[in-house]
Chain A
Amino acid sequence: MTSTHPGVTSKPLLQLRDVSLSFKGVSALNALSFDVAPGTICALIGPNGAGKSSLLNVINGVYKADSGDVVFAGQRFDAIHPLKAARLGIGRTFQHNALFSRLSVLENVLAGYARHGTASFLENVFRLGRDRAERRAALAQAQRTIALLELAPFTHTVVSTLPYGIQKRVDLARALMAQPTLLLLDEPMAGMNHDEKLEMSRFIRQINQQLATTVVLIEHDVGIVMDLAQHVVVLDYGRKIADGRPDDVRNHPDVITAYLGTVH
């Protein structure tokens, strides 16, 4: 995928129109608008408390925006629930690994297949009907995903016993399992050292290119972001202060101010 400038491609996969969100009067997002073109990696950056995670939570339906529209794949929704978002093809990972800690890596990844499952509980228990084909398909898909993210050595390990960096990758694998069209990654590289971040970037790029998955991610390391993303949106105090290609954003005066901590 060559770097496409947002807005140039015919139809955005995700559109945000004047999205506002506040918590008990404290504004978290302020009339935010931007588009994400299909097949791109879009990074949300900004200081702590800029509203990045809140925005992700609005897209995925954990929070409901006070006003404004979210349009996904041409479909506008104002009240979406995480479950419905998942079924529409919006996958996500979590800032604090929300893995199923007592389950193995394989089971965590398999759980991600839920949105494609149609077999009933009894079919599952007695391995009848639709369950057989689905079982095979799910297992094959899980093994592909595990291989892609180089998790094979940990397939049967219980997740809570794995190092943090590996857990982050399991979270990613679980989200991928649902074959989402849009993948939301909430600080996939938090707490990692530089080498681990590069490795994670490589996986994200691979997913984006091989599976044509559109990615929206939050990351603090500006260096990593500028290399990885084709599209950067900078937030500060719930407002968008810049939106464009990494190079354009890097030199934007407001971004420099926000990042260098000049008094507003």
Chain B
Amino acid sequence: MSYFLETLFSGLFAGAMYALVAIGFVLIYKASGVFNFAQGAMLLFSALTFVTLLEHQFHFLLALLLTGVVMVAMACAVERLVLRPLRNRDPLTLFMATLGLSYFIEGLAQLLMGTDVHMLDLGIPDVAIDFHGISVSQYDIAASGIAFLLVVVLSIAFNKTRMGVSLRAVADDTLAAQSIGIGLPRIWRIVWSVAGFVALVAGLVWGGRQGVQYSLSLVTLKALPVLIIGGFSSIPGAIVGGLLVGATEALADIYIGPLVNGSVSTWFAYILAVAFLLVRPAGLFGDLKIERV
């Protein structure tokens, strides 16, 4: 039993990290209807920037602040150079643009900061602590705490502020939002900045665990099943989807893995996503789209 619980918990903690990545996607999807393929690249870029600054003897907080500034600058550049010229285009066109953007950002990161693997020490020890007979990693607990805090901050920002009302208004009806004086470029800059900030947090948490390296941008691919399960337009969906994927793939690895003589966790999330696509295509919390024909 305790083995089951240990596996479940470590799965859930991994799930919290998936959720952290998925939230970045949801933010942008809600505000502009775009699946931002570059989210993973943004995550990598922010983590790399942070690590590089640390290695140049910047103070931890100063490095954090500077990386935040870099992510905001990137958001503004993306809005000006990519989103604005492609305004009113097909969502697929925008998706392709973010695909290109992701290669561009990765290339830029490589050009500026090289291809080395960097170790990142966030000062949180990765040791197991005993919790009623179940051993849990301290790092996992801290990471979940950070994820939780981020979600609280985001939900306050989006639900309790006037800007939050504007953001949700844009997500709901873009044309009506513009007609009452809500400026889209500004909303996009804000949302991409916030998504950049989320990418930074996710990048640090992931990077602290497995080192900052190019494979970090591949978390995009893990976020995809999370989003399909949770629904593309829902932050609670991203959280539940993340936890679900984390927990089931950890359990499947233990209980199904031996039956098929191999690791299940690499593909289990995708099978789960396919099942959801067949049964509930909008995901657990997504909007069932009703379109006028």
| A contacts, CB < 8 Å to B | 60, 62, 81-83, 85-87, 91-92, 94, 98-103, 107-108, 110-115, 117, 119, 121, 124-125, 127, 131, 134-135, 138, 174-175, 177-178
Contacts and interface: CB of A to CB of B under 8 A. Distances in A.
A257 B193 CA distance: 59
A83 B173 contact: no
26 contacts: A60-B179, A62-B179, A81-B178, A82-B178, A83-B179, A86-B178, A92-B179, A98-B179, A99-B173, A100-B177, A101-B172, A102-B168, A102-B172, A103-B169, A103-B172, A110-B165, A111-B165, A111-B177, A114-B182, A114-B183, A117-B166, A121-B193, A124-B161, A124-B162, A125-B161, A135-B162
A155 to B, nearest CB: 14
Given A83-B184, A102-B172, A175-B180, A121 B190 contact: yes
B168 A124 contact: no
Contacts of B162: 110, 113, 117, 119, 124, 131, 134-135, 138
Given A83-B184, A86-B180, A125 B156 contact: yes
Question: Per DSSP, are chain B's interface residues mostly helix, strand or loop, or mixed?
Answer: helix
Nearest to A81: B178
Contact of A83 (B166, B169, B182, B190): B182
Contacts of B184: 83
Contacts of B172: 100-103
B180 A62 contact: no
List the 3 shortest-distance A-B pairs measured between CB atoms, nearest first: A115-B181, A86-B181, A98-B176
Interface of B: 156-157, 161-166, 168-169, 172-173, 175-184, 190, 193
B21 to A, nearest CB: 22
Nearest to B173: A98
A230 B167 CA distance: 39
A83 B178 contact: yes
A193 B187 CA distance: 39
A177 B180 contact: yes
Given A98-B173, A98-B176, 20 more contacts: A82-B175, A83-B178, A83-B182, A83-B183, A86-B179, A91-B180, A92-B179, A100-B172, A100-B173, A102-B168, A103-B165, A107-B165, A114-B166, A114-B183, A115-B180, A115-B181, A121-B193, A124-B164, A125-B157, A125-B161
